[in-house]
Amino acid sequence: MNSQIALLLLAAVVFLPALFKEKPRWPMPEVRAVLPGTGLPMYRTEFINPSGPFGPGGPDNKVSMSHVASLAPLTLDKDGAMAAAWYSGSREGARDVSIYLSRLDPDSGIWSKPQKVMDRHTASADIGRRVKKIGNALLHTDSGGRLWMFFSTISEGGWSMSTLSYTHSLDGGLTWARSRRMLLSPVMNLTNNVKNKAVALDDGSFLIPAYHELARKFPEAVRFDPATEKYEKRRMGSPFIKTRAIQPALMAGNGGTLSAIFRNMGRNMAKGGNKREKRVAFLSTSHDGGLTWSELSKTDLLNPNSGLDALMLSDGRMLAVANDLPKGRHRLSLLVSEDGGVSWKRIHMVEDSGTPESGDEFSYPFLARDSEGNIHLAYTYKRKRIKHVMFNEAWIKKQAIGNEKRDG
């Protein structure tokens, strides 16, 4: 009896402090008015990178593949200035892949000649480790105007063995600081990657949507403080439920709520039978700055295991860009949700080549706003080039009115 009491007292000493320990807190999303963009309805398109080879090395440097674009406003430059980054090389995963950057002059509407800002040799020298290849790059401009770039490096294997490194620029991407490696995983620091934009938090830090692919696939939220360069991550959703959701697209809403929609890498089969079930994007929300997230639920947005992105409109609706198909990446659409991301309605087809048999690919879209509130979209065009679309909320409203008239 005495020994049992002793054990209970020991357990109380060990575990009671944990019960009363203050729960960790993260800063909330930054409260900032969402501007609808400038003037009358506007929608224009152009390519960011040229169709032929470019970059150092002249005509022998034949770049035949471009993929995974990212955008960020250059807030220390002219109003409306933007930066775009992506990777190019002979093929995805090749050792000659480099990350390129181009800048949009809002006065002329012209993108600058792409400049190489990172390759495997530079990354290897910076972080002091062998780098076999590099991949996805993510741009983010912090509250002080510094431009950050987070990018994946791989020493062995494929994308599921990637790690993240980062660098920053004080002059809008013209020059860059020495890269540093992020330590995000306890086991060999493997399998962390990025695609979609970060969200600013009210203390100057920002939330990076990341994802894990080795063995199990799941999304993560990484809080990064640019002042100290310290960071911490949290898993999004339950570790006990297998959703195979990756590449979260974050949106900051009213009252500090964060929402995210996810790419679905799950198999396209219904449980308990042979009947096909269409694969759709997942949805989750957070009310504590991304520290904890609701269980992932299904939306009605078709997702053929392909990247997507989304942002919040000034009236509280959500705007997404996705391959809204059961199969293939031959169509890319803009869609709007009025119920917090549960249901979606297409307002415009950005690209459509008809059928999967065409072999065309319009993929990995990225959405961002400039300092004036105009919306910018960049995406992979047939794996050859990066295409850019610029529009405003007046144009979105016009599409919605047109669709209502056609439906009526």
Q: What is the largest CA-CA distance in the chain?
A: 86
In a domain, 118, yes or no: yes
In a domain, 338, yes or no: no
In a domain, 95, yes or no: yes
In a domain, 79, yes or no: yes
Q: Which residues contact 386 (CB under 8 A, 6 or more apart)?
A: 47, 48, 49, 66, 69, 84, 86, 378, 379, 380
Predicted confidence at residue 57, as pLDDT, reads 39
Distance CA 262, CA 377 (A): 18
Judged on CB neighbours under 10 Å (0-12, 13-18, 19+), 192 is buried
Judged on CB neighbours under 10 Å (0-12, 13-18, 19+), 247 is buried
Distance CA 297, CA 245 (A): 11
In a domain, 16, yes or no: no
Residue 59 has phi, psi (to 5 degrees) of: -65, -20
| C-alpha distances in Å from residue 46, one per residue of 36, 49, 51, 83, 368 | 22, 9, 12, 15, 16
Distance CA 154, CA 164 (A): 9
Predicted confidence at residue 408, as pLDDT, reads 45
In a domain, 276, yes or no: no
Predicted confidence at residue 293, as pLDDT, reads 95
pLDDT in tens, 171-190: 999 999 999 999 997 767 77
Predicted confidence at residue 193, as pLDDT, reads 95
Q: Block means of pLDDT (10 residues each) for the chain, length 408 residues? A: 52 42 70 75 95 50 83 90 96 93 95 96 96 97 96 90 95 97 82 95 96 90 97 88 90 90 77 62 95 95 97 96 96 97 98 86 97 96 96 93 56
Q: Please state the domain count of the chain.
A: 1
Output the 3-class SS for the chain.
CHHHHHHHHHHHHHHHHHHHCCCCCCCCECCCCCCCCCCCCCEEEEECCCCCCCCCCHHHCCCCEEEEEEEEECCCCCCCCEEEEEEEECCCCCCCCEEEEEEEECCCCEECCCEEEEEHHHHHHHHCCCCCEEEEEEEEECCCCCEEEEEEEECCCCHHHCEEEEEEECCCCCCCCCCEECCCCCCCCCCCEECCCCEEECCCCEEEEEEECCCCCEEEEEEEECCCCEEEEEECCCCCCCCCEEEEEEEECHHHCEEEEEEECCCCECCCCCCECCCEEEEEEECCCCCCCCCCEEEEEECCCCCCEEEECCCCCEEEEECCCCCCCCEEEEEEECCCCCCCEEEEEEEECCCHHHCCCEEEEEEEECCCCCEEEEEEECCCEEEEEEECHHHHHHHHHHHHHHHC
CATH of the domain at 362: 2.120.10.10
Predicted confidence at residue 52, as pLDDT, reads 62
Q: Which residues contact 259 (CB under 8 A, 6 or more apart)?
A: 250, 251, 253, 283, 284, 285, 286, 312, 318, 340, 341
Domain extent, residue 108, equals 45-253+348-407
Question: Which pair of structure tokens corresponds to residue 335?
Answer: 């869609």
Predicted confidence at residue 56, as pLDDT, reads 43
**Angle at CA of residue 153, ends 151 and 159, nearest 5°:** 100
- Please, what is the end-to-end C-alpha distance for the chain in angstroms? 79
Distance CA 230, CA 26 (A): 13
C-alpha Rg value of the chain to the nearest Å: 22
Predicted confidence at residue 19, as pLDDT, reads 39
In a domain, 100, yes or no: yes
In a domain, 86, yes or no: yes
Predicted confidence at residue 153, as pLDDT, reads 95
Predicted confidence at residue 404, as pLDDT, reads 53
Distance CA 296, CA 301 (A): 14
331, 333, 406, 401: which is closest to 367 by C-alpha?
333
Predicted confidence at residue 24, as pLDDT, reads 67
Statement: the pTM of the whole predicted model exceeds 0.75: yes
